[in-house]
Structure 1
Amino acid sequence: MKRFGLAIQIVIGLILGILVGAIFFGNPAVATYLQPIGDVFLRLIKMIVIPIVVATLIVGVAGVGDVKKLGKIGGKTILYFEIVTTIAIVVGLLAANIFQPGVGVDMSHLQKTDIHSYVETAETTQSHSMIDTFVNIVPKNIFDAFVRGDMLAIIFFSVLFGLGVAAAGERGKPVLHFFQGVADAMFWVVNAIMRFAPFGVFALIGVTVSKFGLSSLVPLGKLVILVHLAMLFFILVVLGTIARISGVKITQIMRILKDELLLAYSTSSSETVLPKIMEKMERLGCPKAITSFVIPTGYSFNLDGSTLYQALAALFIAQMYGIHMPISAQITLMLVLMVTSKGIAGVPGVSFVVLLATLGSVGIPLEGLAFIAGVDRLLDMARTVVNVVGNSLAAVVISRWEGQFDKKKAEQYLKEVSAKAA
């Protein structure tokens, strides 16, 4: 009997989680027994993310060893991120304007969710400008950055360390070999942890469905469906066009990442798949120096799914309250989102915090967020998938832009993936 692949195992875990959650809806015992399983899985992933990012980035940068070349890659990466996230905002605004998901929603049938923790986070980060973000990229204490999981500061340190290893020449070789060994060991650990993924998915989905039930979807069904369709459109049309220009098909990338996309969708966490997508994009022909820099940086600056959702959700709330948003106000909203979505990168519950920091500036009631918080987990699942696909594609785009994409390696890997699927 052929053993089920990881993707099938995750789907089985997802279905069983939904069934258990629906059967025991409202029973607090579900969270008591299943939440620890889900938490252990997420902790296992978070445990290895930073060692992998540090090791692969140091090895990749040391392999390049040219400050000017790295600066060029960094500039192109940030420019690309800004263009694509702006397109995502425009797609979100267009979807909300065309389909009007908030029109006719009866707020008396909606259940309010406590968003107090998000409000407190927004208040502490509202004064956090883009300039503050760039200042905080430089860590005062790298070990403090490791403890807090401050990815931008960790990337900055790793790039400098990699340049130092390259500058040391022969004396730096033992250090380079050490970090290559760390990276190889950590990828083995990732593969071991992934065997636990179906159980983690089962637990996390079971807890979510048992808390909110499937009935909470009905009043906000139009919003949930529209968000998923808008995300699908963005992947197939926008990212699909960018992929074609870059010489690959978006469906090929999605086929390569099928396990990771299912896992990201089920857990609503991009972090769970960061190590694997870095590994797979490297196997697809992207150089280590680019994948190890572009993908982790994209987790802070290239959240396409999150920015699309923020634009759509802002107009949904305005429509729900009957507030007319003229083109000028929507342009203001777009400009504010372009800044706030980057300015507080890395904050927990970032999509909600960004919306709280944005809605007031364009005259939309903040209380409206309390009505959609209940289905936010389901919306988060969709935007996480877009974030993962967008950052994976970004590695290909920058590799092609730099003329470093290995087409033969890509063709060979795609053949291997097709043969395995057959």
Structure 2
Amino acid sequence: MRQPIYRVLYVQVLVAVVAGLALGALFPHAGEAMKPLGDGFVKLVKMIIAPVVFCTVVIGVAAMGDLKRVGRVGGKALLYFEAVSTLALALGLLVGRTLRPGEGFNIDPATLDAKAVSGFASQTSHTSLVDIALHAIPETLVSALTSGEVLQVLLVAVLAGFALSHLGEEGEPILRALRQAERLVFGIVAIVMRAAPVGAFGAMAFTIGAYGLKSIGNLAELIAAFYLTAVLFVCLVLGVIARLVGFNIFKLLRYLREELVIVLGTASSESALPALMRKLEAAGAPRTVVGLVVPTGYSFNLDGTNIYMTLATLFIAQATNTPLTLGHELMILGVAMLTSKGAGAVAGGGFITLAATLQIVPEIPLAGIALLLGIDRFMAECRSLTNFVGNAVATLVIARWEGQLDLERLRHVLDHPDAVPAPAGHG
């Protein structure tokens, strides 16, 4: 029996998003006051991410019990991330060169507020791959679970999983306890997600109330170009990859519609990370692959952020009438391939990595980032949505590459998304 439409979560979130937009547009001050609702929901979800990742990965690795196999899955994931990230960067560059959204602005770099971006520029020294690798090592085992850093949790969980697998029968009581803890954790996730409409309402009301639709103004062409590029990437690049793996990208989007609407409302892909892991496992991807690929992808597979970086770089160059040669554009592409890997490891990562890229190409004025500050919130939704879909596809690709994807179950689930029970162990 189908539940009433008003009880469907994604319908509730959609209604909340529209209500938040209306409140922010009609009563801006009241909309701004709703900010704690959005912030509170995102904090609630982030609170539960560490235990979700820890339990899922420890149980998965302990069941796998093979260091080489874990290394193989991780290696394939990183190889895939690099290949698809490069495609995203190249697509952003291509669209930027074709549509030229910054042309005609004729902005004098001397009139831009350099102080507004100084904070981002000062943090660019922390985005190298070495810094990211060192940052993934926690101060203590316990601090990994309290720091909120997904890579740190992932490292400790993998080590704990290997240790458990080597304990053999002696580790069984610990494994059983972890499985019970996992049921508890996903029970908390189910409760927290019921608050998604409230969070989406608060986040959208604040965005419109604080920045207003007028803030889009002359930058509407850039926003439109970014959204168009993201749609092309999802439909063409990810669509072709999905077809090669054996599923339909649009059916996957329908299956993940609740999570997508939550990501849209909160402008944070992290807000749906626990639900994504649960749904991918329910769709036939093994826990071992889901536990390794999804958390790693949230730091290293940021397709939406990659598109944004090259498109935003070209926009700033065009808006300030900075001539770029093909060599400059190839340099931007090459540098962005490295700097984008740090976007998920630091707060405000999109701007920080964009600043890092611009500093390598000194011809483009760094102060040009100030042009994007007012509209970044409107672009954050698209970045988060694209990152989210990219990681869902990546997990299914690696599972198929490993020969562990239950393709028949995946197709059945995508054809009947409303009849999917929670996966075993999730209660």
What is the distance in 1 between the residues matched to 2:308 and 2:164?
Answer: 41
C-alpha change, 1:368 and 1:31, in structure 2 (3 Å) is same
What is the distance in 2 between the residues matched to 1:114 and 1:12?
Answer: 40
Structure 1 counterpart of 2:413: 413
Structure 1 counterpart of 2:385: 385
Structure 2 counterpart of 1:87: 87
Q: What are the Cα deviations for residues 286-329 of structure 1, in whole angstroms up to 9, with x where unaligned? A: 00000011001000000000011011000000000011111110
Amino acid at match of 2:170: R
Amino acid at match of 2:4: K
| 2:292 is the alignment partner of 1:293 | yes
What is the distance in 1 between the residues matched to 2:407 and 2:12?
Answer: 32
Structure 2 counterpart of 1:375: 375
Amino acid at match of 1:61: V
Conservation of the 8 A alpha-carbon contact between 2:144 and 2:156: no
Question: Structure 2 matches for 1:6-405, cutoff 5 A?
Answer: 6-25=9-28, 27=29, 29-32=30-33, 34-105=34-105, 107=107, 116=116, 119-343=118-342, 345-362=344-361, 363-405=363-405
- The structural deviation recorded for 1:360 is 2.0
Q: What are the Cα deviations for residues 55-81 of structure 1, in whole angstroms up to 9, with x where unaligned? A: 000011111010111111111010100
What is the distance in 2 between the residues matched to 1:175 and 1:76?
Answer: 30
Conservation of the 8 A alpha-carbon contact between 1:243 and 1:393: yes
Structure 1 unaligned residues grouped into runs of 5+: none
Q: Name the SS for the 1:374 alignment partner.
A: coil
What is the distance in 1 between the residues matched to 2:171 and 2:86?
Answer: 41
Identical positions, percent:
37
Conservation of the 8 A alpha-carbon contact between 2:299 and 2:341: yes
What is the distance in 2 between the residues matched to 1:53 and 1:389?
Answer: 19
What is the distance in 2 between the residues matched to 1:365 and 1:165?
Answer: 53
Q: What are the Cα deviations for residues 68-108 of structure 1, in whole angstroms up to 9, with x where unaligned? A: 11111111010100111111000000010000000012659
Q: What are the Cα deviations for residues 161-200 of structure 1, in whole angstroms up to 9, with x where unaligned? A: 0011111111111111111112221112111111111111
What is the distance in 1 between the residues matched to 2:382 and 2:37?
Answer: 23
Amino acid at match of 2:50: I
Conservation of the 8 A alpha-carbon contact between 1:22 and 1:209: yes
- The structural deviation recorded for 1:407 is 1.8
Amino acid at match of 1:155: L
C-alpha change, 1:193 and 1:97, in structure 2 (3 Å) is same
What is the distance in 2 between the residues matched to 1:270 and 1:174?
Answer: 35
Structure 1 counterpart of 2:423: none
Structure 1 counterpart of 2:424: none
Amino acid at match of 1:13: A
What is the distance in 1 between the residues matched to 2:307 and 2:373?
Answer: 17
What is the distance in 2 between the residues matched to 1:287 and 1:102?
Answer: 45
Q: What are the Cα deviations for residues 226-277 of structure 1, in whole angstroms up to 9, with x where unaligned? A: 1001000000000001111111111121011001111111111011100000
Conservation of the 8 A alpha-carbon contact between 2:264 and 2:382: yes
C-alpha change, 1:344 and 1:37, in structure 2 (3 Å) is closer
Conservation of the 8 A alpha-carbon contact between 2:46 and 2:270: yes
What is the distance in 1 between the residues matched to 2:210 and 2:113?
Answer: 12
C-alpha change, 1:347 and 1:115, in structure 2 (3 Å) is farther
- The structural deviation recorded for 1:145 is 2.9
- The structural deviation recorded for 1:115 is 6.8
C-alpha change, 1:127 and 1:388, in structure 2 (3 Å) is closer
Q: What are the Cα deviations for residues 371-418 of structure 1, in whole angstroms up to 9, with x where unaligned? A: 111110111100100000000111100000000001232233234316
Question: What's the TM-score, normalizing by structure 1?
Answer: 0.94
Question: What's the TM-score, normalizing by structure 2?
Answer: 0.93
- The structural deviation recorded for 1:119 is 3.2
What is the distance in 2 between the residues matched to 1:296 and 1:157?
Answer: 13
Conservation of the 8 A alpha-carbon contact between 2:89 and 2:310: yes
